[in-house]
């Protein structure tokens, strides 16, 4: 647990926190198993993936923190986008969000000098201009790689920006809606018109290459994508080639790259997916008051800022922390503007089998935009939702 030494010093004589390191890919399943067996559980659990909340909710693994959280002094200062990432399908709060990792758009300024398009129509018009110049308008995670990971990125960003969703709020998958159909028609158009490079569908994160060399003008991805998208070459040939996360930060500071919300269909806000990092309290925890003290301590301005920049790996959920000096950099200032102009929500909504849904929906959309672009969109979406709902 980050800042453990400082916490123990400040709470000497009251609490002594002992960390229990676990393999990141087994933490969730091991906690579920421990609670179900009535075994020993930690007093607090560091959450790094919002989807884990669904597994915990299904198995009764963590406590409902709604009432306690709403009574704390920091509650009203939390970004609603981050709060949504900690809610279960029943709308209750099962974790305390500390940092959020929203999806947004990295943009080469020379490709979009007048700002990123705000409507589908503006985007298509500019995409055609870029094509005539020999450049692509956009690259994105378009493959079915990693069990449909692409759904959580550009695909959900687009669906939600058209007012779409994947569920009915009651745990049932609902895909065949006018909004979803319109979003998929838009994606079909940009693929068919070759506004997207073929490498977007190659898998293995190869879609990043088209942004690295500026052959594609924009790249919707996670906030902290800058850590991996390097080195970079700007459209004018300027090289950012340290081969580290500093490359993107340098490009943003120099004004060659900027961050933007995605476009939005008429009557909608720019959508985006969001993941949060924070804390949950397991059912059966023996020292709940200690967990409360740790969370409240992390919510103090100084500790909060350090935690977010460290293990949180994202953008502060706490409004007061956003003004901390650690976040007064070109990157964070641009991120704040983009995030505040977006309506970010967890893609899975009330779906209680997100891993299954992710794979199924991404496969269906990949079929519609790449494998069989003449297929009837409504038919494929209906077939997919019926297949999922049959197991509800």
pLDDT category at 2 given cuts 50, 70, 90 is low
Residue 153 lies in a domain: yes
pLDDT at 24: 74
Residue 8 lies in a domain: no
CA distance 62 to 27: 13
Q: Which residue has the tokens 């301590």?
A: 297
- Quick check: 347 pLDDT over 60? yes
- Quick check: 182 pLDDT over 70? yes
40 and 164, same domain (yes or no):
no
The arithmetic mean of pLDDT across residues 240-255, rounded, is 96
pLDDT at 120: 98
pLDDT category at 8 given cuts 50, 70, 90 is very high
Residues 6+ apart with CB under 8 A from 62: 45, 53, 56, 94, 95, 280, 281, 282, 283
Neighbour-count burial of 60, counting CB atoms closer than 10 A to its CB (0-12 exposed, 13-18 middle, 19+ buried): exposed
Pairing of the two strands 257-260 and 96-108: antiparallel
pLDDT at 312: 60
Residue 341 lies in a domain: no
Q: What is the pLDDT of residues 118-150, one digit of tens each?
A: 999 999 999 999 999 999 999 999 999 999 999
- Quick check: 368 pLDDT over 70? yes
Q: Range of 323's domain?
A: 21-100+275-336
The arithmetic mean of pLDDT across residues 366-385, rounded, is 98
- Quick check: 1 pLDDT over 70? no
266 and 279, same domain (yes or no):
no
185 and 254, same domain (yes or no):
yes
Calculate ∠ Cα 49-28-363, nearest 5°: 60
Residue 292 lies in a domain: yes
Q: How many CA atoms lie within 13 A of 227 on its CB side?
A: 7
Rg (CA), the chain: 21
Report the 10 Å Cβ neighbour count for 325.
Answer: 7
Number of domains in the chain: 2
Q: How far is CA 56 from the centre of its chain?
A: 19
Q: Is 104 helix (H, G, I), strand (E, B) or coil?
A: strand
Query: How many angstroms separate the Cα of 367 from the Cα of each of 29, 143, 390?
Result: 32, 10, 21
Q: What sign for the dihedral angle of Cα 121, 372, 344, 98?
A: negative
Q: What is the pLDDT of residues 319-341, one digit of tens each?
A: 999 889 989 999 988 988 998 89
263 and 280, same domain (yes or no):
no
Q: Is 99 helix (H, G, I), strand (E, B) or coil?
A: strand
The pTM assigned to this predicted structure is 0.87
């Amino acid at each position: 647990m980050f800042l453990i030494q400082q916490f123990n010093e400040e709470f000497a004589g009251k609490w002594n926190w002992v960390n229990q390191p676990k393999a990141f890919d087994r933490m969730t399943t091991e906690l579920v198993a421990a609670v179900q067996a009535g075994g020993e559980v930690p007093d607090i659990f560091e959450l790094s993936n919002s989807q884990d909340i669904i597994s915990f909710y299904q198995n009764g693994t963590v406590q409902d923190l709604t009432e306690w959280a709403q009574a704390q002094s920091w509650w009203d200062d939390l970004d609603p986008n981050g709060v949504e990432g900690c809610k279960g399908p029943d709308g209750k709060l099962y974790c305390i969000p500390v940092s959020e990792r929203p999806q947004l758009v990295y943009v080469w300024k020379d490709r979009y000098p007048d700002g990123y398009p705000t409507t589908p129509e503006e985007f298509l018009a500019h995409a055609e201009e870029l094509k005539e110049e020999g450049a692509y308008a956009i690259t994105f995670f378009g493959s079915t790689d990693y069990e449909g990971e692409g759904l959580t990125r550009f695909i959900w960003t687009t669906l939600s920006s058209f007012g779409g969703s994947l569920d009915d709020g009651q745990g049932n998958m609902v895909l065949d809606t006018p909004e979803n159909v319109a979003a998929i028609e838009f994606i079909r158009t940009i693929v068919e018109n070759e506004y997207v490079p073929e490498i977007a569908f190659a898998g293995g994160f190869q879609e990043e290459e088209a942004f690295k060399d500026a052959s594609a003008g924009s790249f919707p991805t996670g906030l902290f994508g800058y850590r991996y998208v390097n080195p970079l070459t700007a459209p004018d040939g300027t090289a950012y080639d340290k081969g580290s996360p500093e490359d993107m930060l340098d490009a943003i500071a120099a004004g060659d790259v900027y961050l933007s919300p995605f476009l939005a269909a008429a009557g909608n806000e720019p959508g985006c997916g969001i993941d949060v990092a924070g804390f949950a309290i397991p059912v059966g925890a023996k020292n709940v008051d200690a967990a409360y003290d740790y969370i409240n301590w992390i919510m103090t301005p100084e500790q909060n800022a350090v935690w977010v920049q460290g293990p949180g790996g994202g953008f502060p959920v706490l409004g007061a922390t956003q003004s901390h000096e650690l976040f007064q950099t070109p990157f964070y200032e641009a991120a704040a503007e983009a995030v505040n102009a977006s309506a970010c929500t967890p893609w899975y909504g009330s779906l209680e089998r997100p891993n299954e849904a992710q794979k199924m929906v991404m496969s269906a959309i990949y079929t519609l935009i790449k494998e069989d672009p003449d297929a009837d969109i409504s038919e494929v979406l209906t077939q997919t939702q019926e297949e999922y709902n049959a197991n509800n």
